[in-house]
Amino acid sequence: MQNEPDSCTKKLSLDTILARGATPFEPRTGAISTPIYQSSTFRHPGLGETTGFDYTRASNPTRLELEKTLALAEHGKYGLAFASGMGAISSLIKLFKSGDHLIVSEDLYGGTFRLFNEYYKNYGLSFSWVDSSDFGRVEAALRPETRAIFIETPSNPMMKVSDIKGCAGLIHKRGGFLIVDNTFLSPYFQNPLDLGADFVVQSGTKYLAGHNDTLSGFIVHSNDEKAESLIEAQKSEGATLGPFDSWLTLRGLKTLAVRMERHNRNARRVALWLREQGRIEKVFYPGFEDHPQYALSVSQSRGFGGMISFYLKDERDVPVILKEIKLILFAESLGGVESLITYPLVQTHGAIPEAMRLSAGVNSRLMRLSVGLEDTEDIIADLSQALEKCGKRNES
Ligand SMILES: *Cc1c(COP(=O)(O)O)cnc(C)c1O
C-alpha cells in the first residue's frame, strides 16, 4: 500500500514525527521542506508504466507526504487528505448503504449535522442523535441495523466527553464501526485509534494547520479491508486536498506540539478567570475537576485543548461582547493562533433545529471561545473590558 508509513518512523515519538514529517527530506534534491508539486498530471514513462502518480485527484506527492505524516501522528496505517473536514466526513459516509443506522453525538459540529440530516437521510441512512457522554443512552439507541457510532469528544460546543473505549466495545459487538471526530484535541492530545476507534476524522482547518489560513480534512484508520474502497471514494468524489493547501497543513503540523501545549495552558488560565466573573453563569471546560467527565477525560486524553464555552446570565450581553471585544476576533472557526469568539446559536450551529439545539444546550446565552496563542493577560484584559461594558448597559 503506497501510503503505509514505514515501520522505522513508527517508533519515533510524536513530537519528532510532527517536526520532521514522514519523509524528513526530499530524496532527489535534499529539500528539507516538502516541495509543492503543483501539477495536475504526471507523465507515464511508457505504456503500463507509472512513477506512482498519474493524476492529482488520485494522488499527489505533497498530499501523500501529508497523509503519511498524519497517519503516523494518529497511530493509523492509512491517511487520506480532503479539501475540508466536511469533505472527509462525506467521503467516509460512503462506507454505509441505504438501510444502515448510525448513532451520532447530539451536540456536534453543525455542519456535520446538516450533512447527515439534510443530505444523507435522503439516501436511506438513518441517524439517532444522542448525548454520547451518557453511555446508557448510546446503548439504548442501538438497533439491529446500527452500523456505526459517530462521536465528537470533547463535543462541539458543550465540551462533553464521551467514552471512546466504551463506545468501541459496544459497536464492535455488533460488527459496526466507531468513528471519532478528533478535531478538538488533535492527535497531540488524543489518539482514538489506540482506544479502539475504527476511523478518525479531523478538520485540519483547525489545530492541525493552525494558522487560520487554509482548509483541510482527514480520515485516518488501520482497516485493511476498507482501505481500497476509501481510496476509491476519495478519488471518485474528488474533494481532495490541493498541493498548496497540503503544504500549508504540513507546515502547520511541524509546530503542532508546541502550539497545543500553549493552547492548553492558555485555555486553562482563561477558563479559570471566566469562572470568577459575575456576568457568567457557567463555564464548560473539560479541564475543571468538577467537569462531569473529568476522570474520563484524564483517562483517555493527554490534555484538555484550547476550547471553552460559557453561558452568560443575560443574553443581552451577547451583542455587547461581540461588539466590544478588540483583541479577540468575532469569527467562526477555531484552533488557530488568533483567539476567536463564536456565537454558536447563529454560526456553527445555525443549521440545527431549535428543539434539538436547546436539548443539546446550545441556547441564546452560549458563547464559544477558541483560545489562541496571545498572552493570556491580554486575552483576559480584553474579555474584562467587554464584560465591564455589559455592566454599564445595565446602569443606563
Ligand atoms: C470545523 C469542524 C468540522 C468541519 O471541518 P471543515 O474543515 O470546516 O470542513 C468538523 N468537525 C469539527 C469538530 C469542526 O470543528
Residue in 100, 181, 198, 317 annotated catalytic:
181
Nearest CA to ligand 1 atom 5: 85
C-alpha span between 224 and 219 (Å, rounded):
14
The dihedrals phi and psi of 152, each to the nearest 5 degrees, come to -115, 125
One pLDDT digit (tens) per residue for the chain, 396 residues: 344 445 445 578 999 999 999 999 998 999 999 999 999 999 999 999 999 999 999 999 999 999 999 999 999 999 999 999 999 999 999 999 999 999 999 988 999 999 999 999 999 999 999 999 999 999 999 999 999 999 999 998 999 999 999 999 999 999 999 999 999 999 999 999 999 999 999 999 999 999 999 999 999 999 999 999 999 999 999 999 999 999 999 999 999 999 999 999 999 999 999 999 999 999 999 999 999 999 999 999 999 999 999 999 999 999 999 999 999 999 999 999 999 999 999 888 888 888 888 988 999 999 999 999 999 999 999 999 999 999 987 565
* Chain position carrying cell 446500527: 146
Domain residue limits, the chain: 7-253, 257-395
- 282 in catalytic set: no
- 206 in catalytic set: yes
Our answer on whether the CB atom of 86 is closer than 6 Å to any ligand 1 atom is yes
**Across the strands, what pairs with 177?**
148
Cα angle 385-387-388, degrees, rounded to a multiple of 5: 60
Topology (CATH level 3) of domain 257-395: Aspartate Aminotransferase, domain 1 (3.90.1150)
Q: CATH for 7-253?
A: 3.40.640.10
Those residues whose C-beta lies under 8 Å from the C-beta of residue 84, and which sit 6 or more positions away, are 203, 205, 215, 216, 217, 239
Question: CB 27: neighbour CB atoms within 10 A?
Answer: 7
Are 379 and 328 a contacting pair, CB within 8 Å? yes
